[in-house]
Structure 1
Amino acid sequence: MIFEGCSNFRTRIILSLLSGKPVKIRNIRSQDNEPGLKEFEVNFLRLVDKITNGTSLEVNETGTDLYFQPGLLIGGSISHECCKLRGIGYYLELIFMVTPYCKKGIHITLKGVTNNEKDPSVDAFKTCALPILQRILLLATDVTMDIKKRGMEPDGGGEIYFSCEPVKYTKPIQLTEFGKIKKIRGTFFSLRVSPTIANRMVEKAKANMLKFIPDVYFTVDHPKGKLCGNSPGFGANIVSLTTNGIVLNADSVSLPFSGKRTTAEEIAENVSSAMLEEIWRGGCVDSSFQSLILLYMALRQKDVSHVVLGPLSPYTIQFLRHLKIFFGITFKLEPYNNINEDEDLRQGYNSRILVTGVGIGYNKLI
């Protein structure tokens, strides 16, 4: 399978691993001043090599052409130093997508940048993606994720541990009832800066969220010594939980101190606005992890699954196109309005989409 350019690089490699189909990617930044693969993409391929057996790569001298022959997904105990140009979330997407289909369970330690602006934070994966594994893949006792250290750009220093056993049984996905927001929780952290910054963020964000719902509780994380990484910074993660067990998430972090400065109040405003927008979207899955739930739907046994999503992100739209290319699967997309909800809620949720699909009956290596 032949592709052009560097866009959707991770998606092509991940789906190549799951489908067993080799891919060739040509003209990777061939017109740039620095052509070829970037450091974080090479680092990503090293992680792929660690969790597989028999993977082969061929890259030309300039790095603009890549031939990828996928191996078998094995898993095992792994430790990996992530590139500091991207967050650990960039690599966790690979882990969450392929772990259920490995031969053995994965026990992995990832080191690098835990929170940045480009990628979902490790908090987002722990609060939103982990419940998807537990609820959808029936892994209530076999999946854990611990944030051992936090690290900000540019020098990182963070560390997380993730453990998950392979899936032995799956069932069709039925996620159509959003429910009502019952509580809002959050974590505000400050690394190598004054702890009063975290308190200022909490005060501002709580004032904003109390206008929406009374059950609001935020915690402050101010690690010291080796636990706070190598660079100063601060940020926030807010989670909304509904009466039907739906979890939505919002992140915001400060810019690196070498660049433009951001204040604690700006971070609190940003994360509050992002949380309210995510609630307004009304999807039963957080917008950052739409592709994750769609992949699980595609690889289920041959049965019908339903899930209600908010407006599809550009990344999700491209992911759907790649699913059709690699697996030949398409989904039925139609507007969704629940007649049991209040009229004002239905008007706010008029952009929700009901996604219906039949799994391909994917069989992993046993």
Structure 2
Amino acid sequence: MAGQSPSLSYMGCNFLRQRLVLATLSGRPVKIRQIRAKEEDPGLRDFEASFIRLIDKVTNGSRIEINQTGTTLYYQPGLLYGGSLEHDCSPNRSIGYYLESLLCLAPFVKHPLRIILRGVTNDQVDPSVDVLKATALPLLKKFGIDGEGLELKITRRGMPPKGGGEVVFSCPVRKTLQPIQFTDPGKIKRIRGTAYLFFLSLPAFQEFFFFNFPQTTFYHVWRSPGFGLSLVAETINGTFLSAELASNPQGQGAAVLPEELGQNCAKLLLEEIYRGGCVDSTNQSLVLLLMTLGQQDVSKVLLGPLSPYTIEFLRHLRSFFQIMFKIETKSSDEEHKGGEKVLMTCVGIGFSNLNKTIK
């Protein structure tokens, strides 16, 4: 169990995952007050309570206290334990909501993590398991987190509201990470995609996506109706930029044609390519965390414009780890075309060097 590190205090429900993940890695307790205190339905939501249960499963000896209204949470992290686990995710958020945090924690557990996650694999809110598999796993490999033990296997798919999907995520332990110098994204060499449909006629759907996106893998699954597409552009230097769209859940919003969804998804990918950088906007916080916890050496990465989520993540990194990044703005030029880029530089603190007392 984490020892004498001073606790941090926050207010509100925003960035709950960030705070709990960084508390777990740093060993610092956190207290979060006034969680939706002024709303008609105050307190933690089901998907947040499910996330807290997941954190409790991944750790050993954590202390979690929630008041009767669910508006105050105290979390004192225990040992990052890992092991073989199973977790049923709330259908109100996709598996990606939970998997994003596991990608941050898994390399640093005591025992290699292998976890089965059940729930929604594809929705309109969170990164899909397809995008995380195509973009986050190659990013982990750049830090030396690789080998046969690193895998994200999609065994079943499910859309809201019924879910029914299942994935298996496994990750080897790598408490010493390689520093990176990832400043040249390189030119696009291929674009691939994953299309999926539920309770829909396959031929017309597949004909459209195969004609427009020939390197697309198709999945036909029977549960809640709907369809979607994820696209990933890969460069010659190992940069992966992604975009995705899903149809509206049954009974919500207007119907969307496959042609319209495919065209809009392609436009989103072009916007992501224009923003550019060596890591797409989905994984900005992950690369900055791995740079922070890497060995005590200089790491650099070129990013596109920082998302609001990433900006808040940088503030939290400073609070939990007392680390600051050097941020340099790079204007568009012949070498880095597209939108304005940001060069992020830091000296890693080394996960094994964190000042934690383990009992």
TM range (shorter): over 0.9
Query: Which segments of structure 1 move beyond 6 Å, counting only runs of 4 or more?
Result: none
The answer to whether residue 271 in structure 2 is matched with residue 277 in structure 1 is yes
Amino acid in structure 2 at the alignment position of 1:353: V
Amino acid in structure 2 at the alignment position of 1:73: L
CA distance 1:18–1:354, shift in 2 (3 Å) = same
What are the within-5 Å matches in structure 2 for residues 224-243 of structure 1? 228=222, 230-243=223-236
Amino acid in structure 2 at the alignment position of 1:20: G
CA distance 1:255–1:201, shift in 2 (3 Å) = farther
SS at match of 2:197: strand
CA contact (8 A) 1:52 1:72 kept: yes
Amino acid in structure 2 at the alignment position of 1:129: A
SS at match of 2:215: strand
Q: CA deviation at 1:361?
A: 2.0
The answer to whether residue 48 in structure 2 is matched with residue 77 in structure 1 is no
TM-score by length of 2: 0.93
From 248, 255, 277, the equivalent of 2:241 is 248
> How many pairs were matched up?
347
Aligned partner of 2:344 in structure 1 is: 355
Q: CA deviation at 1:337?
A: 5.1
Aligned partner of 2:220 in structure 1 is: 222
Distance in 2, Cα, partners of 1:15 & 1:166: 18
Distance in 2, Cα, partners of 1:87 & 1:293: 22
Name the stretch that deviates more: 128-137 or 275-284. 128-137
Aligned partner of 1:210 in structure 2 is: none
CA contact (8 A) 1:255 1:262 kept: yes
Aligned partner of 1:4 in structure 2 is: 11
Name the stretch that deviates more: 185-194 or 283-292. 185-194
Aligned partner of 2:52 in structure 1 is: 45
CA distance 1:258–1:340, shift in 2 (3 Å) = closer
Aligned partner of 1:211 in structure 2 is: none
Distance in 1, Cα, partners of 2:292 & 2:105: 13
Name the stretch that deviates more: 102-111 or 137-146. 137-146
Amino acid in structure 2 at the alignment position of 1:239: V
The answer to whether residue 302 in structure 2 is matched with residue 308 in structure 1 is yes
SS at match of 1:105: strand
Distance in 1, Cα, partners of 2:159 & 2:151: 23
Q: CA deviation at 1:29?
A: 0.2
CA contact (8 A) 1:23 1:68 kept: yes
Aligned partner of 1:212 in structure 2 is: none
TM-score by length of 1: 0.91
Q: CA deviation at 1:312?
A: 0.5
What are the within-5 Å matches in structure 2 for residues 313-324 of structure 1? 313-324=307-318
CA offsets, 1:324-349, max 9 Å, x none? 111111101112258662xxx53x24
Unmatched runs of 5 consecutive residues or more in structure 1: 207-215
CA contact (8 A) 1:52 1:74 kept: yes
From 33, 53, 75, the equivalent of 2:40 is 33
The answer to whether residue 141 in structure 2 is matched with residue 152 in structure 1 is no
The answer to whether residue 73 in structure 2 is matched with residue 66 in structure 1 is yes
Distance in 2, Cα, partners of 1:168 & 1:292: 15
Q: CA deviation at 1:93?
A: 1.2
Aligned partner of 2:5 in structure 1 is: none
CA distance 1:138–1:97, shift in 2 (3 Å) = closer
From 282, 286, 289, the equivalent of 1:295 is 289
CA offsets, 1:274-301, max 9 Å, x none? 1101111111001101000000011111
CA distance 1:54–1:318, shift in 2 (3 Å) = same
CA contact (8 A) 2:30 2:76 kept: yes
% same residue: 48
CA contact (8 A) 1:120 1:288 kept: yes
Distance in 2, Cα, partners of 1:191 & 1:64: 37
Amino acid in structure 2 at the alignment position of 1:310: G
Distance in 1, Cα, partners of 2:204 & 2:83: 40
